[in-house]
Structure 1
Amino acid sequence: MRTGPDGATTALGSPVRRLRIATLLAAGVVASVVLAAVHVTQGTASVDALDLVALVFGGGDQDALNVLTASRLPRVLAGVTVGLALGVAGALLQSLARNTLASPDTLGVNAGAHFAVVLAAVAGVSLPAFSAGAIATLGGLLAAALVLALSAGGASGPTRLILAGSATALTLQSMTALLILLFEEETTGLFAWGAGSLVQADLNAVQQMGPVVLVAIAASLAIGHRLDIMALGDDTASVLGINVRRTRLIVTLLAVVLAAAAVTVAGPIGFVGLCAPAIVRLLGPYVPGLYRHRVLLPAAGLAGVVIVLGADVAVRAILGAQAGVNIPTGVITTVFGAIVLIALARRHRDSGPTRRPPAARPGRAQSLRRFWIVLTACSIVLAASLLAAILLGDRTLLIGDVVNWINDESGRAITFILDSRFPRVTAAALAGAALAVAGVTVQAVCRNPLAEPGLLGITAGAGVGAVTLLALVPSAGVLALSSVAGGAALLTFGIVYALAWRAGLSSDRLVLIGIGMWSGGMAVITFIVVLTDPWNVSKALTWLSGSTYGRTMPQVLPIVVALLVLTPLVILARRELDLLSLDDDTPRVLGVRLETTRLVALGGAALLASTAVSAVGVIGFVGLVAPHAARALVGARHSRVIPVAILLGATLVSLADTIGRSVIAPAQIPAGLLTALIGTPYFVWLLWRSRV
């Protein structure tokens, strides 16, 4: 056997133990059949296993038959179809990218397919499942092409692949959420479906997409020997007569078709395409010949079926039959997949190319005069954005109205508007500033200008804490909410930091584990919201998208305190941050206590991010864009980066909030959606500039 990139073992030349392979595949079939048998006995209707057994032997009543054919059988067949499709798609993508972290999720395929289906629904296009699958395939193909282009085909290392996929997926998810919020009637039911739900109204989707899945799997098996040879390297494969470019195109198309078929049937069920092949590959040392693709692909498909059906069975067994309707299966698989992603990430070393894009190199010094010009310009832009935020909204005000309000001389209507508008404007600006300081700190400590608090799982951890408290104690006060959110963020940060520590702190490993924690945290938030209030879709989307709606000044107070306490400490530590952003050796030589400084700095970043999340919800990528833009403007010295980043972060969130509540007033677009739509394309551009 040969070892390829990221420790993946190549298939060609490994011995084949047919008995062990047959035993493994038979075990997968038996496990799938057992889970399917248990699955059809679960449901909200009063039809149990004995009733279904009676049907098998020609007995039973019509009601039991109706429940089986109209509800339970479509659901279990959907689980089988989706599991097979995603398992095989994940195995194909991992072989294509030669990267064990590749999957329909990490390559943005699921997000692209989901966006395409929702866009078709918004356009009023009512399509049968087969046509919807074609649209989903197109969306997934475009997303995968972008991610592979940004990550050099996935061969440049796991960090770049996951970062590119996360950015692309987040952009598409933000656009999808925006469409669902703006077109509620046209997209009814697509929120739960968007998290991956096996609930089926009939057999139509399975009947139309099932043959597509089977044909795609058969085609994948037919070219399995080509993938075996390509595992030796493109040059070797070319010498042996394989058309590498054509094979890559065919494999990409087959993987995307499979993932799109799964999305068409049940929505984007998360991380099955990552977990199924990863679990199968772990068995490789015990089953010689398993890495051959004509064995690996069906084994990954069976593992996918076991994961999907197992997750669905577990939800209904533990939480009750109704939970199987309310809680999307994809939420459970995403949590499980996040754990697998973290486990895989711990096995990887730093990949290098992602760490320092050209615009972020510390050698770029700028003059002091330029710094003051930029600082003054940013201050003017922030002041203008704050003024616009006060004046614009569902009702446009005049500066005189604001002056009268300040002097307590305004009328009742103006007073009401400004009393409600001023806290949210303040919350937006301060949250942006806090996220910017947190981003500067995280990027310096990780020596990765593409890192940010959200991608380290800090904001998702704070979100889990806040949503859990709101679910358990709806009347919880501001202090309690901020305390719980801060504690959850610190706990999440501690877990990420501990998992990333392995004979030293690896920045790439820290980012990868953070992304896994972020994915799992967002799934947990969806789980809590759907479990406690399954009919309030707007509540879930509003929190997950970040919104300043209904904010009061007491809710803003924790951000003020955090900024007043922690920002001066970050500024005082500017020299240490400069040194940390270089390498590990320089700070040690100059007397900096490296690990203590890292821990304290990241802890402060976690507190800043958590207070922002507790006030305005989950707002992503501000901590990426503001620090990076600041470095591009004034150089890499943190004495200059920090104040400029604060101004840029406050301006970005303030403008996003103003636009969000003005462009379609009286309806509103959450600020987090707009910052994601602005920030992630910028993030993608950074990856493109630094590609190798």
Structure 2
Amino acid sequence: MTLTAEPATAGPSEPPRLDDTRRVTWSLSLVVVGLIALIVVLAAVDIVQGTAEVGLGELWAWVTGSAEQQAAAVVVDSRLPRVAAALVVGIALGGAGCVLQSISRNALASPDTLAVNAGAFLALTVAATVGLPTLIFGDLVLAFVGGLVAAAVVFALAGTDYGTVRLVLAGTVVAMVLMSVATTLIILNPIEGQGLQAWESGLLSQNGFGGVRAMVPVIAAGLALLLVLGHRLDVMVLGDDAARTVGIPVRQTQLIVLVTAVVLSAAAVTITGPIGFIGLAAPALTRLAAPIVPGLHRHRALIPVSGLVGVVIVLGADVLIRATLGAQRAVEVPTGVVTSLLGSVVLVWFAFRLRASRLDNSANALDVRGVGTRHPGVLLAVLSVVLLGIVVAAILVGDKVFLLGDLVNWATGNAGPIVTNVMGARVPRVVAALLAGVALAVAGTVIQAVTRNPLADPTIIGVAGGASVGAVIIVTFVPMASFWALAGASGLGALIAAAIVFGLSARGGFATDRLVLIGVGVSFACEALVKLMIVTTDPWNASKALTWLAGSTYGRSYEHLVPLMIGVVVLVPAVLVGYRQLDLLSVDEDTPRVLGVRPAQARFLLLGCAVLLTATAVAAIGLIAFVGLVAPHAARSLVGRRHVLVIPVAALLGAILLVLADMLGRTVAAPTQLSAGLLAALVGAPYFFYLLRKSRRRV
């Protein structure tokens, strides 16, 4: 079962009367005129906002041709290109999102959830860091290819049924991996990638009209083609069979529309970078008005109106940033940060508006027969030896490679100054990765069991994002605070995020799709808040953003690890003591009650342990994805679903994965260091895709 929503459509059963035609024309004209008037007002406000004094009087003088030369130069050279970019990008993304929702019959399809924007950005990042030619149409071709490949991967993972939760999950994870690769390239090529970090979130600032002028014909041609296909789309929304009955080539039309939407998205990314969720929010808001505005459900009206709504959102976000932060501070704030916050709200809203269901009809996704259940002691011993070997290797290798004898000398206090200094910095990092791997793996095990959700993960469902917001607040506004304050703020942020996600999801019985959509929405909101705090308070410190958004053990010392050590020592045994409750909660809602377990109380206590484990891990090394997803699944495949075995096996696997990722990050590009989170994402994402495909075959 999947969660889907079909756009509101209606096919005429009889020829429209003249009065009806006039009413439709007047209604649509009123909507279009109203949107254009709102755009003009927002554009005028946006133009007069800025670091130089240009008021409404100067703007009117420029319009009438009587402006002073300096004021005219400010308007034309600086602010009009910004407004023009907002107009072009808003129309392109709004129209692209509209048709993507229609061909997939999925209310959450957009250039963001299909990873089109992420694929286009990665392609342009490769061009910038590798040194490919930067001609504007060359950039467009690169962005188009990257976006099209990304969309193809997402559709392949989500399946032909286009289930909402699958599409969002597949698109989110593909985008996460692509952005991780892009971030890695920026780190490896800091000079060539200068400025790409801010552009990653979508910047309207333009250096003249060159980029906008080059993209206008492309976007205009794409929108014109979509309008020509509007009648086909009207019929196709009713179903493939209905469309084929009247002679519409369904697959051919879907392919043409998909390619055109990718071109529009690629053109937008080429101009401003990936401005998030315009292609989701604009069509969603437009479709809300379709039942009350006659004729708006038809695509020849729906597409352009969605584009106009997209322009309103982009300009409104830009005006809001400048009005809130002031012209000087708003210069470095990407417009896409605000639109991402809007997109997160839309995702949560959709989670409650649409019919909820599960990916699986039962808890079968957690019910597996482990291959190591006959000899669990042997399996635990083997994993312990593997972990020990990887820990030793991680300590010995890096920008300087040591021998095992050097490690022995250091441990016995007989090492020289070079070995002592390097080991003093390296060992705490390895310990941090080991403890964080254990904490995240056990947290993921608890969350998956308690929610009976095979795709739950502390990062994907927003708990880790909330912890990162709390940590960055302390780092940003109280930089001299102790690490205990940092851990406390991280814990509070995780608790707030968990209360939002689990509290809202509990109303639907922790249905998989609702939990995932709410969690993904909270994750996007937390990521946007972290970026907003960083760029408004310390815009030049990109390393801080990478530390908390990508995860890194860099600079960790033993004092930083004390909260994490205590959390692992106290909370992991507490979770292990509750293994019986986890076994029962992972079955259904009635079995625990029959056997004397109070589900609400047990769920609250166990989730509390998972949230605190996540918070201490994030406070120590930042945001790490996939460890809490991969380790529990791998553990169940080895030892079955009995949590007395799953918990220790998952803990060992999580430690192995994160220590290995940290070691690779310190060695593959030495002396440049890649964050452990980036490497963990590249390792964990393929396994996640496998799980998504596996769950698709079950339904």
Whether TM-score is above 0.5 comes out as: yes
Residue 626 and residue 503 in structure 1: after superposition, are their counterparts in 2 closer, same or farther (change >3 A)? closer
The structure 1 residue matched to 2:135, chosen from 104, 112, 128, is 128
Q: Residue 135 of structure 1: CA displacement?
A: 0.9
Structure 2 partner of 1:437 = 442
Corresponding position of 1:86: 93
- The structural deviation recorded for 1:457 is 0.5
1:289 aligns with 2:288: no
**CA distance in 2: counterparts of 1:453 and 1:26, whole angstroms:** 46
Residue correspondences, number = 687
Distance (whole Å) between structure 2 residues aligned to residue 129 and residue 157 of structure 1: 36
CA distance in 2, matches of 1:300, 1:645: 47
User: Relative to structure 1, is the Cα distance of residues 77 and 513 closer, same or farther in structure 2, using a 3 angstrom cutoff?
Assistant: same
Does the aligned pair in 1 maintain the 2:666–2:672 contact within 8 Å? Answer: yes
Match of 1:387 in 2: 392
Q: Confirm or deny that 1:264 pairs with 2:270.
A: yes
The range that moved more, 172-181 or 586-595, is 586-595
| Unaligned 5+ runs, structure 1 | none
**5 Å matches for 1:353-502?**
353=359, 360-366=365-371, 368-502=373-507
The change in CA–CA distance for 1:503 and 1:534 in structure 2 (over 3 A counts) is closer
Residue 168 of structure 2 corresponds to residue 139 of structure 1: no
The residue type paired with residue 92 of structure 1 is V
- C-alpha distance in 2 between matches for 1:63 and 1:23: 38
Q: 2: distance between equivalents of 1:597 and 1:98?
A: 39
Q: CA 1:117–1:485 in structure 2 vs 1: closer, same or farther (change >3 Å)? A: same
TM-score, normalised by the number of residues in structure 2 = 0.95
Q: Which runs of 4+ in 1 moved over 4 A?
A: 354-358
Residue 247 of structure 2 is matched in structure 1 by: 241
**Contact between 1:78 and 1:266, CA under 8 Å: does it hold in 2?**
yes
Structure-to-structure mapping, 1:9-408, within 5 angstroms: 9-13=8-12, 17-153=24-160, 155-353=161-359, 360-366=365-371, 368-408=373-413
Question: 1:365 Cα deviation (Å)?
Answer: 4.5
Is contact 2:58-2:71 (8 Å) kept?
yes
Q: Does 1:627 align with 2:632?
A: yes
Partner SS state of residue 691, structure 1 = helix
Q: CA deviation at 1:68?
A: 1.8
Distance 1:101 1:644 in 2: 37
2:573 corresponds to which letter in structure 1? P
Q: 2:602 aligns with which of 597, 600, 609?
A: 597
**More deviation, 620-629/128-137:** 128-137
Q: Which amino acid aligns with 1:241?
A: G
Q: Which moved more, 1:667-676 or 1:7-16?
A: 7-16
After superposition, the Cα gap between the structure-2 partners of 1:667 and 1:197, relative to the gap in structure 1 and judged at 3 Å, is same
| 1:514 equivalent in structure 2 | 519
Contact 1:85 1:259 in 2 (8 A): yes
Deviation by residue 1:579-627 (Cα, 9 ceiling, x = unmatched)? 2222223223333222222222222211111100000011111101111
Please report how far the alpha carbon of residue 10 of structure 1 lies from its aligned counterpart in structure 2 after TM superposition.
Answer: 2.5
- Confirm or deny that 1:561 pairs with 2:566: yes
Which digits, 9 at most, give the CA deviation of each residue in 1:185-226, with x for residues without a partner?
111111111110001111111011111111111111110111
Task: Give the 5 Å matches for 1:643-654.
Answer: 643-654=648-659
The answer on whether the counterparts of 2:103 and 2:254 sit within 8 Å (CA) in structure 1 is yes
Q: Deviations over 1:300-334 (max 9, x none)?
A: 10110000000001101111112332000000100
Aligned to 2:556: 551
Separation of aligned partners in 1, 2:10 and 2:329: 42
Greater shift in the superposed pair: 678-687 or 381-390: 678-687
For 1:131 and 1:525, the matched residues in 2 are separated by: 33
Q: Within 2, Cα distance between the matches of 1:208 and 1:453?
A: 43
CA distance in 1, matches of 2:6, 2:578: 39
The 8 Å contact of residues 196 and 328 in structure 1, kept in 2 or not, is answered as yes
CA distance in 2, matches of 1:76, 1:445: 49
The 3 A distance-change label for structure 1 pair 606 and 476 is: same
Q: Is 1:12–1:231's contact at 8 Å kept on the other side of the alignment?
A: no
Shift of 1:367: 5.3
Cross-structure match for 2:17? none
Q: Using the aligned pairs only, state the percent identity.
A: 51
Paired residues of 2:91 and 2:311 also in contact (CA < 8 A): yes
Change (3 A) 1:480 1:306: same
How far is 1:362 from its partner? 0.9
Letter in 2 for 1:341: L
Check whether the contact 2:581–2:597 (CA below 8 A) recurs between aligned residues: yes
What code does the residue aligned with 1:227 have?
L
CA distance in 2, matches of 1:349, 1:579: 27
Tell me how far 1:161 sits from its aligned partner: 1.2
For 1:9 and 1:237, locate their aligned partners in 2 and report how far apart those are by CA, in whole Å. Answer: 16
Q: CA deviation at 1:450?
A: 1.5
Residues 496 and 510, structure 1, Cα contact 8 Å, conserved in 2 = yes
In 1, Cα distance between the equivalents of 2:198 and 2:507? 38
- Residue 354 of structure 1, CA deviation: 5.8
User: What is the alpha-carbon distance in structure 1 between the residues aligned to residue 646 and residue 601 of structure 2?
Assistant: 23
Kindly state the Cα deviation for residue 282 of structure 1 after the two structures are TM-superposed.
Answer: 1.2
Deviation at 1:691, TM superposition (A): 2.5
Is the partner of 2:459 in helix, strand or coil? helix
Corresponding residue for 1:8? 7
Asked whether the 8 Å contact 1:315–1:323 carries over to 2, the reply is no
Query: In the TM superposition, what whole-angstrom CA distance separates every residue of 1:9-50 from its partner, at most 9, and x where no partner exists?
Result: 224249873322221121111111111111111112233332
Q: Which whole-Å CA distance do the structure 1 matches of 2:97 and 2:451 have between them?
A: 30
Are the structure 2 counterparts of residues 351 and 149 from structure 1 closer, same or farther at C-alpha, using a change threshold of 3 Å?
A: farther
CA–CA distance in structure 2, aligned partners of residues 48 and 131 of structure 1: 38
Distance 1:367 1:527, change over 3 A: closer
Q: Is the 8 A contact 2:631 2:650 kept in 1?
A: yes
Following superposition, the deviation at residue 448 of structure 1 comes to 1.9
Task: Quote the Cα distance in structure 2 between the aligned partners of 1:570 and 1:443.
Answer: 13
In structure 1, give the amino acid aligned to 2:89: V
Range moving further from structure 2, 628-637 or 215-224: 628-637
The residue type equivalent to 2:555 in the other structure is: G
Q: Is the 8 A contact 1:355 1:447 kept in 2?
A: no
User: Which amino acid counterpart does residue 197 of structure 2 have in structure 1?
Assistant: F
Within the candidate set 641, 666, 670, 1:665 is matched to 670
Answer whether contact 1:428 1:653 (CA < 8 A) is retained.
yes
Match of 2:359, SS state, is: coil
Between 85-94 and 504-513, the greater mean CA deviation after superposition: 504-513
Q: Distance in 1 between matches of 2:167 and 2:368?
A: 27
- What is the letter of the counterpart of residue 527 of structure 2? M
CA distance in 2, matches of 1:56, 1:28: 21
Unaligned 5+ segments in structure 2 are: 14-19
Structure 1 residues 5 and 623, CA gap change in structure 2 (3 angstroms): closer
For the residues of structure 2 that align with 1:357 and 1:292, how far apart are their CA atoms? 42
